[in-house]
Structure 1
Amino acid sequence: MKQADPSTEVRNVARAAAHWLALMESGTATDRDRAHLQQWRDSAGAHESAWQKVQLLRQRFHKLPSALAMATLDRPDPGRRALLKQALCVGAVVPTAWLLTRQLPLDAWRADLHTATGEHTDVPLADGSTLQLNTASAVNVDMQARLLTLVRGEMALKARGVAPFTIDARYGRITLSHSDVCVRLNAGDCQVSVVSGTVQVQPVQGAALLLREGQQVSLGVTGAGAIGPFDPLQPGWRERVLMAQNQPLGDFLRELSRYRAGWLRWEPGLETLRVTGSFQLDNTDRILSLLAATLPVQVQTRTRYWVTLVPRNNQA
């Protein structure tokens, strides 16, 4: 007897999850439909995992159907109703396509959730936890195993629910329950900061560590560094704010460059100037203008993606 192709089974589960999502959002689902959905989710771990993934992916596309629905509900002509129907189909198909491509071996490297440079997203999880992604970040999500894998960039997790979460961050694993943690992958290490509660950290090398509120540690290929306090201004990105308190301008600009596409350069002589303030990350050009207004620097813009800071009245 020929065995079923595992990839085909995964595709079928993904399609079923997307179809259930489309039904639940159609406005026509009955109590019986919701009961059948719950039975389907409970019948296999793969079903529940696919359901959680398709809900997470759906977060990225919820605006399209809603916007078109608002434009058509109070204008009952056939053309607009057809457009709404098409939009609702797109809303169901897009997460299906995303979910299916992530099940293919060719696309296995692509993360479940990701942000572009300068983008930020908040994702509510089914158990009441909240996942946040900072600029240029990517995370894989396995709700069945309660495992988050940080592929790149920076994330924050406010963990809730009964069972603990595990975060795989390349240089170690972080386990937490009813705690709040920020995890950032750098070029050669991983930084773990505890905003509230306690977390257990298991480096790839060495013994496990217990971090408490206000503590931070860096993990690398050789193990963990010394535990120390973290800068309370550091998690400001979660509120879309970049904060500095008497910070060297060079360090500030290196951090700011994470939120800008293209090249941001500055002359070495500006490194030691000091910056203090709270800056809204939704407009990094305005941040550069504020720096020029308060420090002896000027901003030279060749293109939107090529910006240089030089001492004021100095020609590059």
Structure 2
Amino acid sequence: MTSPGRGDARQLAREAAQWLALQDAGPLDADQARALQQWRARSDAHEALWQKAQTLRQRFAQVPASVAVACLDRPDPERRRVMRQMLGVAVLAPIAWAGYRQLPLSSWRADLRTATGERRAVALADGTRLQLNTASAVNLDFAEGHHRLQLVQGEISLDSPGQLWVQTRDGVLQAEAASLCVREQTQGCLVSVSRGRVSLQPLAGPRLQLQAGQRATLAPAAVTGVQAFDAQLPGWQQGLLIVDDRPLGELLRELDRYRPGVLRWDSAVERLPVTGTFQLDDTDRILALLAASLPVQVHYRTRYWVSLTPGKKIA
């Protein structure tokens, strides 16, 4: 079964939100309940998104009483129905966005996965220490002495005491007592080696070996962009985002990976230089620090819809 495309995911999210709003408006009648059950049974993707929608609905269930009492306490049935639908619509934006950014179906079925903003560390059977970054998923194959791992989506780091194979969409990595990081990107997988040696085999191209302190991009036809990097510099594995005189837009694009919802910024702030070390576990604090140290303003439409605009110091 193929994973739903981006457009399909958006449509599924809209349908799930509509069902959720209908459910919130009052008890479903027999025909509606049957139709909902049929919608959920259409595919694994339908059911997975419905479960995610239910989880999100529970998170947003505690609507402040002051918002609802004025209308819900009135005896007008039509007003009550409209208000309930409005509360359902209040959930639509985060659910629709969750559907847009949701992991593909293959990731939902993966052995290990993380949500947006979540990081996870796991000790594997062979002694390998695996870390999953935000919105990532992997499958494991350690049966009968195999030491194989498949990167389904996102970014992982590995600290392996022995030999380990990593399958990616662009090729295969063979690590020899190594520490490495693998990140899926649009043009291939970025592989960074901080200890040991890692052999990169593209799907259709020559093999290349990376040493500690090197990184390269593994693309389907070749390994490109071999370069040195500071392997001792802390990164997301330590929960840090470090930038040194980088454009603000670059930092915000990275930060967007860790925030559920919408993060937008005016093009006028794109090239503002930023230097700093930021804690990834509190992205709201990062935005506050940026507003305090740069000529930018941060606007919260909701917790899940944030925008940055120029401050007074930008002409």
Change (3 A) 1:234 1:170: farther
> Residues 107 and 152 of structure 2 are in contact (CA less than 8 Å); yes or no, is this contact kept in structure 1?
no
Where does residue 258 of structure 1 map in the other structure?
Answer: 257
Residues 130-180 of structure 1, C-alpha deviation per residue, up to 9 Å, x if partnerless? 00000000000111221100000000000014xx10001110111112110
Q: How does 1:151-300 map to 2 (within 5 A)?
A: 151-161=152-162, 164-230=163-229, 232=231, 236-300=235-299
Matched letter for residue 274 of structure 2: V
Q: Select between 109-118 and 227-236 the one with higher mean Cα deviation.
A: 227-236
Change (3 A) 1:255 1:234: farther
Matched letter for residue 126 of structure 1: A
Residues 254-285 of structure 1, C-alpha deviation per residue, up to 9 Å, x if partnerless? 00000000111111111111111111111100
Q: After TM superposition, give the deviation of residue 312 of structure 1 in Å.
A: 1.1
SS of the aligned residue for 2:235 comes to helix
Q: How does 1:54-73 map to 2 (within 5 A)?
A: none
> Residues 233 and 243 of structure 1 are in contact (CA less than 8 Å); yes or no, is this contact kept in structure 2?
no
Q: After TM superposition, give the deviation of residue 223 of structure 1 in Å.
A: 1.9
Cα distance in 2 for residues equivalent to 1:241 and 1:223:
31
Q: Does 1:140 align with 2:128?
A: no
Q: After TM superposition, give the deviation of residue 228 of structure 1 in Å.
A: 1.0
What's the TM-score, normalizing by structure 2? Answer: 0.63
Change (3 A) 1:107 1:137: closer
Q: After TM superposition, give the deviation of residue 247 of structure 1 in Å.
A: 1.0
Change (3 A) 1:294 1:107: closer
Matched letter for residue 124 of structure 1: A
Q: After TM superposition, give the deviation of residue 308 of structure 1 in Å.
A: 0.5
Q: After TM superposition, give the deviation of residue 188 of structure 1 in Å.
A: 3.2
Q: After TM superposition, give the deviation of residue 125 of structure 1 in Å.
A: 1.4
Cα distance in 2 for residues equivalent to 1:111 and 1:181:
21
Q: After TM superposition, give the deviation of residue 224 of structure 1 in Å.
A: 1.6
Change (3 A) 1:214 1:232: same
Cα distance in 2 for residues equivalent to 1:107 and 1:261:
20
> Residues 126 and 147 of structure 2 are in contact (CA less than 8 Å); yes or no, is this contact kept in structure 1?
no
Structure 1's unaligned 5+ residue stretches are 1-105
Where does residue 25 of structure 1 map in the other structure?
Answer: none
> Residues 290 and 296 of structure 2 are in contact (CA less than 8 Å); yes or no, is this contact kept in structure 1?
yes
What's the TM-score, normalizing by structure 1? Answer: 0.62
Residues 75-103 of structure 1, C-alpha deviation per residue, up to 9 Å, x if partnerless? xxxxxxxxxxxxxxxxxxxxxxxxxxxxx
Change (3 A) 1:226 1:188: closer
Residues 208-232 of structure 1, C-alpha deviation per residue, up to 9 Å, x if partnerless? 1010011111122332213112355
Cα distance in 1 for residues equivalent to 2:294 and 2:232:
21
Matched letter for residue 297 of structure 2: Q
SS of the aligned residue for 2:250 comes to helix
SS of the aligned residue for 2:225 comes to coil
> Residues 203 and 220 of structure 2 are in contact (CA less than 8 Å); yes or no, is this contact kept in structure 1?
yes
Matched letter for residue 133 of structure 2: N
Change (3 A) 1:263 1:107: closer
Cα distance in 2 for residues equivalent to 1:226 and 1:251:
19
Structure 2's unaligned 5+ residue stretches are 1-104
SS of the aligned residue for 1:282 comes to coil
- The total of aligned residue pairs comes to 208
Give RMSD over aligned pairs. Answer: 2.1
> Residues 106 and 152 of structure 2 are in contact (CA less than 8 Å); yes or no, is this contact kept in structure 1?
no
Q: After TM superposition, give the deviation of residue 235 of structure 1 in Å.
A: 5.6
SS of the aligned residue for 1:127 comes to coil
Change (3 A) 1:253 1:306: same
Q: After TM superposition, give the deviation of residue 205 of structure 1 in Å.
A: 2.0
Change (3 A) 1:201 1:107: closer
Matched letter for residue 160 of structure 2: A
SS of the aligned residue for 1:227 comes to strand
Cα distance in 1 for residues equivalent to 2:307 and 2:148:
41
> Residues 298 and 313 of structure 1 are in contact (CA less than 8 Å); yes or no, is this contact kept in structure 2?
no
> Residues 202 and 223 of structure 2 are in contact (CA less than 8 Å); yes or no, is this contact kept in structure 1?
yes
Q: After TM superposition, give the deviation of residue 127 of structure 1 in Å.
A: 2.3
Residues 186-207 of structure 1, C-alpha deviation per residue, up to 9 Å, x if partnerless? 2331110101111111011211
